[in-house]
């Protein structure tokens, strides 16, 4: 039997059940940041695939990355017990510059800082600290341009693997220097990352609900490291809000989504959280078509230069006011 033939239920027993037990242990701790009654449910992809009887995408080359992601998730949860009892809470400017240099050396593309609100923590979950170092990692354009395909599926899982590993490395680097940390995984995160990325100034939420970043558009994966460092520099002003206006004129992702899962008008909840897609429409297509990614592929922000797209909006604004 090759790796791709291992039944999903066996994989779940080997990794996911253990992950849930560790997540429950973290949520049972009195410290940390806990979800509220208003928090969103995390969509449990593996369980849903088994429940609905979908066949796992037949990609032997993606399997080692998926397995490595699960091992990385277990590591991120197991290592919270290795934190110092009296952690440091402040970092100097020089220390922050070294942290950012280290993050880039392990493959991180962009770094931002934000304070996580409990409404963004998934229901019944917790993270160790509210102070978040938010991380992005680019996915290869050539591979994503083939989506949905085995190539794009591999790229997504390779990026999850590498980003999850980098988050663990950054958490370990900080822990060695006396800080308490909890690496938030790229795959199966414990909090909603796109709004956290927006809060950190790394981009703006697109109509498809993904974070649109200036360098790579939505062609990135996100992770976070939660830490005891209280003086991370917050983003005072996010310059990417104009993206919302661009989306209002574009709607390409909504038009090209095969099951029409992207809402033409996102739902804004009372606590400010925004729902952009209908999971019940997206998931069957996503799960049976190599994780889809069409909404990433067709987004103009992953094809064209950010400044060029911004100039379209500026010119339009001038025409309206002239
Ligand atoms: S992943 Fe595919 S199915 Fe899901 S919202 Fe994006 S385009 Fe639609
Ligand atoms: S495809 Fe268009 S509407 Fe959709 S997120 Fe990208 S820019 Fe916005």
CA 293 to ligand 1 center in whole angstroms: 6
Residue 10 gets the label, from left (phi > 0), alpha (psi -120 to 50) or beta, of alpha
- What digits encode the pLDDT tens for the residues 165-192? 999 999 999 999 999 999 999 999 999 9
Residue-level pLDDT at 7: 56
Q: Do residues 43 and 284 make contact, with C-beta atoms less than 8 angstroms apart?
A: no
- Could you write out the DSSP letters of every residue in 65-117? HHHHHHHHHHHHHHGGGGS-SS-B----HHHHHHHHHHHHHTT--EEEEEE--
pLDDT score of 199 more than 60 = yes
pLDDT score of 110 more than 90 = yes
pLDDT score of 90 more than 70 = yes
292 Cβ inside 6 Å of ligand 1: yes
Give the DSSP H or E segment for 301. Answer: helix 300-303
Q: What does the alpha-carbon distance between residue 7 and residue 50 come to, in Å, rounded to a whole number?
A: 9
pLDDT score of 151 more than 90 = yes
- What digits encode the pLDDT tens for the residues 264-311? 999 999 888 899 999 999 999 999 999 999 999 999 999 899 999 999
Which has more pLDDT, 104 or 50? 104
Q: What does the alpha-carbon distance between residue 139 and residue 152 come to, in Å, rounded to a whole number?
A: 9
Give the DSSP H or E segment for 212. Answer: strand 211-212
Distances (CA, A) of 251 to 20, 256, 311, 313: 37, 9, 18, 15
Residue-level pLDDT at 322: 60
Band of pLDDT at residue 204, cut at 50, 70 and 90: very high
Q: Do residues 300 and 159 make contact, with C-beta atoms less than 8 angstroms apart?
A: no
- Could you write out the DSSP letters of every residue in 138-160? EPPHHHHTT-SSHHHHHHHHHHH
pLDDT score of 4 more than 60 = no
16 Cβ inside 6 Å of ligand 2: no
Residue-level pLDDT at 53: 82
Q: What does the alpha-carbon distance between residue 170 and residue 178 come to, in Å, rounded to a whole number?
A: 13
Q: What is the position in ligand 1's atom list of the atom closest to the CA of 209?
A: 5
Q: Do residues 179 and 80 make contact, with C-beta atoms less than 8 angstroms apart?
A: no
Collapsing DSSP to helix, strand or coil, 289 comes out as coil
CA 84 to ligand 1 center in whole angstroms: 42
Sign (positive or negative) of CA dihedral 60, 62, 66, 68: positive
In the chain, % helix, strand, coil (3-state, to 5) comes to: 50, 15, 35
Read off φ and ψ for residue 131, nearest 5 degrees: -80, 120
Q: Do residues 250 and 300 make contact, with C-beta atoms less than 8 angstroms apart?
A: yes
- Could you write out the DSSP letters of every residue in 158-181? HHHHHHHHHHHHHHHHHHHTTB-E
Residue-level pLDDT at 280: 94
Buried b (16+ CB within 10 A) or exposed e, 121-141: bbeebbbbbbbbbbbbbbbee
Q: What does the alpha-carbon distance between residue 315 and residue 319 come to, in Å, rounded to a whole number?
A: 6
CA 300 to ligand 2 center in whole angstroms: 7
Mean pLDDT, the chain, whole residue set: 93
Starting from the CA of residue 285, give the closest ligand: 1
In the chain, the percentage of residues whose pLDDT exceeds 70 is 93
Atom 1 (ligand 2): residue with closest C-alpha? 299
Residue-level pLDDT at 1: 42
- What digits encode the pLDDT tens for the residues 11-24? 666 678 899 999 99
Q: Which of 2, 127, 137 is nearest to 62 (CA)?
A: 2
Q: What does the alpha-carbon distance between residue 222 and residue 137 come to, in Å, rounded to a whole number?
A: 7
Band of pLDDT at residue 51, cut at 50, 70 and 90: confident
In the DSSP assignment, the letter for residue 190 is S
299 Cβ inside 6 Å of ligand 1: no
Residue-level pLDDT at 155: 97
Band of pLDDT at residue 50, cut at 50, 70 and 90: confident
Residue-level pLDDT at 59: 75
Residue 321 gets the label, from left (phi > 0), alpha (psi -120 to 50) or beta, of alpha
Atom 4 (ligand 2): residue with closest C-alpha? 253
CA 299 to ligand 2 center in whole angstroms: 5
């Amino acid at each position: 039997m090759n790796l791709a033939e291992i039944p999903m239920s066996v994989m779940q027993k080997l990794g996911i059940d253990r992950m849930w037990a560790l997540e429950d242990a973290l949520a049972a701790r009195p410290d940390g940041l806990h979800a509220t009654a208003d928090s969103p449910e995390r969509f449990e992809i593996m369980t849903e695939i088994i429940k609905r009887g979908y066949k796992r995408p037949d990609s032997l080359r993606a399997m080692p990355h998926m397995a490595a992601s699960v091992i990385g998730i277990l590591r991120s949860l197991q290592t919270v017990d290795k934190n110092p009892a009296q952690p440091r809470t402040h970092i100097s400017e020089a220390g922050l510059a070294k942290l950012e240099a280290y993050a880039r050396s392990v493959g991180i593309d962009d770094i931002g800082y934000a304070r996580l609100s409990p409404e963004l923590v998934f229901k019944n979950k917790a993270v160790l600290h509210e102070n978040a170092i938010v991380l992005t990692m680019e996915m290869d354009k050539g591979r994503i341009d083939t989506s949905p395909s085995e190539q794009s599926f591999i790229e997504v899982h390779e990026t999850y693997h590498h980003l999850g590993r980098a988050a663990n490395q950054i958490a370990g680097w900080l822990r060695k220097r006396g800080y308490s940390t909890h690496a938030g995984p790229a795959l199966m995160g414990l909090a909603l990352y796109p709004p956290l990325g927006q809060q950190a100034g790394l981009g703006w939420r697109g109509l498809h609900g993904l974070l649109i970043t200036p360098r790579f558009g939505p062609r990135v994966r996100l992770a976070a490291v939660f830490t005891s460092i209280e003086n991370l520099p917050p983003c005072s002003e996010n310059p990417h809000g104009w993206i919302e206006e661009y989306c209002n004129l574009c709607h390409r992702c909504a038009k090209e989504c095969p099951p029409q899962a992207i809402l033409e008008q996102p739902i804004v909840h009372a606590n400010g959280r925004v729902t952009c897609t209908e999971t019940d429409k997206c998931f069957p297509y996503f799960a049976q078509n190599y994780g889809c990614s069409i909404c990433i592929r067709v987004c103009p922000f992953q094809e064209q230069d950010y400044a060029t797209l911004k100039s379209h909006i500026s010119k339009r604004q001038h025409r309206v006011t002239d």
